[in-house]
Structure 1
Amino acid sequence: MHRAARTTSVAFVLTSALVLTACGSSDGDSVAADEKQTLTVWAMGTEGEKLGDVAEKYQEANPNITVKVTPIGWDVAHQKLVAAAAAGKLPDIAQMGGSYMGEFAEMDVLEPVDTSVFAEKDFFPAAWKQGTIDGTTYGVPWYVDTRVLFYRTDLAEKAGITEAPATMAELQQAAKAFQDEAGTKWGLSIQPGGLDTVQSFYQFLYSAGGEIVNEDGKAVVNSPEAVRALENYGSYFKQGLSEKSVRPGYDVTKDFNAGSVPMFFGGPWIMTLLDENYPDIKGKWAVANVPTDKASVSMAGGSSLTISADSEHKAAAKEFIAYLTGAEGQADWYQRTSDLPANTGAWESGELATDPDLKVWRTQMETAKVSPTLPKWTEITSKVDAAIESVTQGKSSAKDALDKAQSEIEGLVE
C-alpha cells in the first residue's frame, strides 16, 4: 500500500515559493456550494484508487457536484504538487502527507482550515497537529498512521513468553528468548541504516523522552534521552539480535511468516497484508503497544486534506471534506481501505470499538508524536539516518554520532 512518502527537491520548492503569487480568491469569490460545479481532487496511492468509489456515492446525494479524482503515485506526488503550486494549478482538494505540509504552507498556496466547520476536538491530537503550522491549520486530518509491535504468539509460547513485552527492557529480554528458546534467527527486526532509518528509531527515541527538534525549533538530537535511546537501539545489532545488513526493499513480513523474525514494528496496513498473504499464520500473531521507556510513544503519520488558496470551489470543497472526515464517513473509509480513522468519533461503534487489535492502535494514537513541520525536515532526518547507521555498524558511539548530527542539524533550523 501507500505510506512513508518522502519529500524531495526541497531547493526547487523554496525557489518556486519566491515566484508564487499570494493567495487567490476568497470565500466571497467562490462558487456557492449548491451551484453546479466540478471539484478536482488529487489523492495518492491506495487512497487515490479507492476515493473514486466514494466520490460516486457522494455525487448521488449531491447531483450538482461532479467530483473528478486523479490518483497519483506517492513516488511522484511531491513533484507534481510542487509543479502545480508553482503554476498556480493546484486541484481544489489535495491529499498531503505530514512531511509536505510545512513546505506548502510556506509557499502560501493552502487555504486555512475553517474551524467553524472542522473542530480540533473531533480528531486525534497528533493528527490535527500534523496539519498545523505556526498556529494556523491548513489540513483536515483524513486518516492516521502509527507504529506498534507485531509479534508471533506461537513462537512466544515456545520461548516461554506469556505476555507481550511491556517495557523496553522486556523487549530486549524477549528478543533474546526468541533466539535462545524458540530458535529464531533474529530477535527483533529494526532498520540498520539507509533512507528513513529514523522511522524505525522513532519508537525508541520518543519513548525515551528524546526529540530531534523541540517545539521551540531548537535541535536537541544529542540530548541524554536521545543518546540513551540510540544506545538501546544499537545494542540489538551489537548483540546479534537484529540484522546489520538489510537489502533495499526488504519485506519483513516474509521473514515474519517464515519464523526467522519474531518481532517488528509496523503500521496498520500490515495487518491486512498478513491476513491476505499469509493465512497459515492467522491466529499466530498479535499486536501490542510500543514497550514503555519513560512512556509508550510512537510516531504519528497519515494524511490530511487541503484546499487550494486559489480554488473557486471552496464552499463545495469544505462540504466534501466534511463528508470524508466526519465520523460516519471515516468508518466507511476504514471498511474500504483499512486506513485508521483520524476522527475519534468513528471509533465508538462497530469493529473499531470492539476489535482488541484495533484498540491497541487507538491507544497508541493517543500518545503518538508528530514530526515538526519544517521545510528542511527531510534533510534534517537524513543526518539522523546517518548517525543511526554509524552506531548499528559499530563505527561510532551513540554520543559521538548524535553530537555530529546535532552540529549538522543546528545549521538547518536557524
Structure 2
Amino acid sequence: MHHAARTTSLALVVASALTLTACGGSGGADVGAEAKQTLTVWAMGTEGEKLADVAKTYKKAHPNVTVKVTPVGWDVAHQKLVAAAAAGKLPDVMQMGSSFLGEFADMGALEPVDTKAFKQDDFFPAAWDQGTYDGKSYGVPWYVDTRVLFYRTDLAKKAGLKGAPATMADLRKAAEAYQDKAGTKWGLHIQPSGLDAVQSFYPFLYSAGGAVLDDSGKPVVNSPDAVKALEKYGSYYAKGLSDKTFRPGYDVMKDFNRGAVPMFLGGPWQVGLLNDNYPGLKGKWAVAAVPADKASVSSAGGSSLAISADSTHKAAAKDFISYLADAKGQADWYERTKDLPANTKAWETGELAGDANMKVFRKQMETAMALPAQPKLTEITSKVDDAIGSVTQGKSSAKAALDKAQSAIESLVG
C-alpha cells in the first residue's frame, strides 16, 4: 500500500510540474550556452544596481548573450520572488538572501547546483552551507558577510585599555572603562529589539557554544549555553552600558564618530563608510575579532546565486554564474561593491590581500556560522528577536524568553 501511495504522489508531482512549465511558457529544452538569447537576472539593493555594469562587460566576451538585470529592493524581494514562483515566472538567475533560499528550494523552484562546475572547496564553509538545503546545493556563494568588533583606539587609551578586548569578560570590562574613564555615553552598541536584533546577538550566542538550530535543523535556542549568552547580552542593558531604546534606521557610525558609542559589532561595508564619511577619524579606530567566550565565532551572512528550475537558459545561466563566482570575478566585484568574496582564492591577490582590516574579516569567516536553510527561516529568527527584546526591556528572564522562543520555533519547524 505504502509503495502505491508513493507512486501516485510522484505522478501528481510530475503532472503539476508539467502544467507549471506549460503555463510558464517555457516548455522545451535548454537553448545552449552559445545561442542568441536574453538571460534575465534579479539582484537586490546595491548589488542589483552594480551588476548591470558587470553584465555589460560580460556581453563583450559573450556577444550572443544579453543579460537583463532587474534590481529589486530588499524590502520587497521576498514577496516578488514568491509571486513569481507561484506564476512560474521566476527569472533565469536570482540572487538569494540566505534567509529565503530554503523556502524556494523546498518549493522545487530552484535548479540544484552542478557540483562538477562549482567546487565546495573553493568557498568558505559557511558560505557553501547557506546555499545547501536538505543535503543538496541550490545556491553558488556570491559574497559573504560577517560581523567583527569596531572600537575607538584613541578612547581606549583614555580608558586605560590595552588593545582590543580578547574575551567576552574583557568586552564587558572595556564597556565599563569607556564609560567611566573616557566619558562615553554608552559602552557598546548592540541592537536591543526589533527586526534582526538576532544579528547583534549571534556573536554572543555562537561564541558561547549556542545556536538557534543545530546542524540537523532541530531548535536548540533554549540550551544552557544560549541562556547564558542572552543573560550576558541583557546585562549590558541592565547596567546602562547599552541603549535600550530601539531606533529604527539608527546609524551607529555617527555616534561612533562623535564618541558617544566607542564599540559596535559591524560588517565590512562599514569600513568603507567610515573611511569615506569620517576621514577625520582615520587612525582613531580599528577592527578586531569577536571577543571569545568558548571561542570567537561570528555569524555568516551574504548571498548566493541560484538558477530557476523552469529556466530554458540553464547553460548560459551557469556560465554567467561561473563568471561571477570565480576568483577573478569576485575580486572584481569587491572592487566595485566592497562585498567580501565567498571564493577564498579571491583574497590571495590585489587589494584584499594587503588590507589589514580585511584580514580580520577573513579570519572571522573561517569559523563563522550560518543558520541551516529552512523554509520558515524569517519567521524562526523573528521569534529570537522577540526573546531578545523582552530581556533587554527587563520584561523577562533569559531562560523564560528562550523557552517561549523554543516552543514557538518547534511548531514552525515541526
Q: Which interval holds the TM-score relative to the shorter structure?
A: over 0.9
Unaligned ranges ≥5, structure 1: 1-16
Q: Which residue of 1 aligns with 2:95?
A: 95
Question: Shift in Å at residue 246 of structure 1?
Answer: 2.6
In 2, Cα distance between equivalents of 1:246 and 1:108: 38
In 2, Cα distance between equivalents of 1:162 and 1:24: 63
Question: Matched residue pairs, number?
Answer: 397
Tell me whether 1:308 sits opposite 2:308 in the alignment.
yes
**Matched residue of 1:142: which SS?**
strand
Q: Measured at CA, do residues 82 and 120 of structure 1 come closer, stay the same or move farther in structure 2, by a change above 3 Å? A: same
For 1:298-331, what per-residue CA distance to the aligned partner results, in whole angstroms no more than 9, with x for missing partners?
Answer: 1111000011111111111111100011000100
Q: Which residue of 2 aligns with 1:348?
A: 348
Tell me whether 1:49 sits opposite 2:49 in the alignment.
yes
* Structure 1 contact 24–309 (Cα < 8 Å) conserved: no
Structure 2 matches for 1:343-382, cutoff 5 A? Answer: 343-382=343-382
In 2, Cα distance between equivalents of 1:20 and 1:159: 66
In 1, Cα distance between equivalents of 2:376 and 2:316: 33
In 2, Cα distance between equivalents of 1:411 and 1:79: 23
In 1, Cα distance between equivalents of 2:314 and 2:31: 8
Q: Which residue of 2 aligns with 1:13?
A: none
Detail structure 1 runs of 4+ shifted over 4 Å in the superposition. Answer: 22-28
For 1:347-378, what per-residue CA distance to the aligned partner results, in whole angstroms no more than 9, with x for missing partners?
Answer: 01122111111100000110111012112222
Q: Which residue of 1 aligns with 2:3?
A: none
Q: Which residue of 2 aligns with 1:21?
A: 17
* Structure 1 contact 20–86 (Cα < 8 Å) conserved: no
In 1, Cα distance between equivalents of 2:165 and 2:245: 25
**Matched residue of 2:96: which SS?**
strand
**Matched residue of 2:413: which SS?**
coil
Question: Shift in Å at residue 341 of structure 1?
Answer: 0.2
- RMSD between superposed Cα atoms in Å: 1.7
**Matched residue of 1:40: which SS?**
strand
Structure 2 matches for 1:264-413, cutoff 5 A? Answer: 264-413=264-413
AA of the residue aligned to 1:198:
V
Q: What's the TM-score once normalised by structure 2's chain length?
A: 0.93
AA of the residue aligned to 2:350:
G
Q: Which residue of 1 aligns with 2:182?
A: 182
**Matched residue of 1:412: which SS?**
helix
* Structure 1 contact 20–88 (Cα < 8 Å) conserved: no
* Structure 1 contact 201–233 (Cα < 8 Å) conserved: yes
In 1, Cα distance between equivalents of 2:171 and 2:254: 21
**Matched residue of 1:161: which SS?**
coil
In 2, Cα distance between equivalents of 1:374 and 1:172: 34
Q: Which residue of 1 aligns with 2:169?
A: 169
Q: Which residue of 2 aligns with 1:250?
A: 250
- Structure with the greater alpha carbon radius of gyration: 2
For 1:9-61, what per-residue CA distance to the aligned partner results, in whole angstroms no more than 9, with x for missing partners?
Answer: xxxxxxxx9x9736859999211111111111111111111011111111111
For 1:368-409, what per-residue CA distance to the aligned partner results, in whole angstroms no more than 9, with x for missing partners?
Answer: 110121122222222211111111111221112112222222
In 1, Cα distance between equivalents of 2:124 and 2:136: 17
In 1, Cα distance between equivalents of 2:407 and 2:48: 40
* Structure 2 contact 98–130 (Cα < 8 Å) conserved: yes
Q: Which residue of 2 aligns with 1:212?
A: 212
In 2, Cα distance between equivalents of 1:157 and 1:349: 34
Q: Which residue of 2 aligns with 1:191?
A: 191
AA of the residue aligned to 1:249:
G
In 2, Cα distance between equivalents of 1:181 and 1:283: 21
Q: Which residue of 1 aligns with 2:74?
A: 74
Unaligned ranges ≥5, structure 2: 1-12
* Structure 1 contact 168–292 (Cα < 8 Å) conserved: yes
Q: Which residue of 1 aligns with 2:61?
A: 61
Q: What's the TM-score once normalised by structure 1's chain length?
A: 0.93
Question: Shift in Å at residue 71 of structure 1?
Answer: 0.9
In 2, Cα distance between equivalents of 1:103 and 1:233: 30
**Matched residue of 2:150: which SS?**
strand
In 1, Cα distance between equivalents of 2:179 and 2:16: 57
Structure 2 matches for 1:114-193, cutoff 5 A? Answer: 114-193=114-193
Q: Which residue of 1 aligns with 2:107?
A: 107
In 2, Cα distance between equivalents of 1:319 and 1:38: 13
Question: Shift in Å at residue 217 of structure 1?
Answer: 2.6
**Matched residue of 1:56: which SS?**
helix
In 2, Cα distance between equivalents of 1:181 and 1:122: 47
For 1:56-109, what per-residue CA distance to the aligned partner results, in whole angstroms no more than 9, with x for missing partners?
Answer: 111111111111111111111111111111111111100010011011001101
Question: Shift in Å at residue 343 of structure 1?
Answer: 0.3
AA of the residue aligned to 2:162:
T
AA of the residue aligned to 1:302:
G
For 1:263-319, what per-residue CA distance to the aligned partner results, in whole angstroms no more than 9, with x for missing partners?
Answer: 000111111111121111122111111010011111111000011111111111111
In 2, Cα distance between equivalents of 1:254 and 1:328: 35
Q: Which residue of 1 aligns with 2:6?
A: none
Comparing 214-223 with 365-374, which one deviates more in the overlay? 214-223
AA of the residue aligned to 2:120:
E
Comparing 213-222 with 140-149, which one deviates more in the overlay? 213-222
* Structure 2 contact 28–312 (Cα < 8 Å) conserved: no
* Structure 2 contact 211–220 (Cα < 8 Å) conserved: yes
* Structure 1 contact 20–107 (Cα < 8 Å) conserved: no
AA of the residue aligned to 2:73:
G
In 2, Cα distance between equivalents of 1:373 and 1:55: 29
In 2, Cα distance between equivalents of 1:56 and 1:410: 47
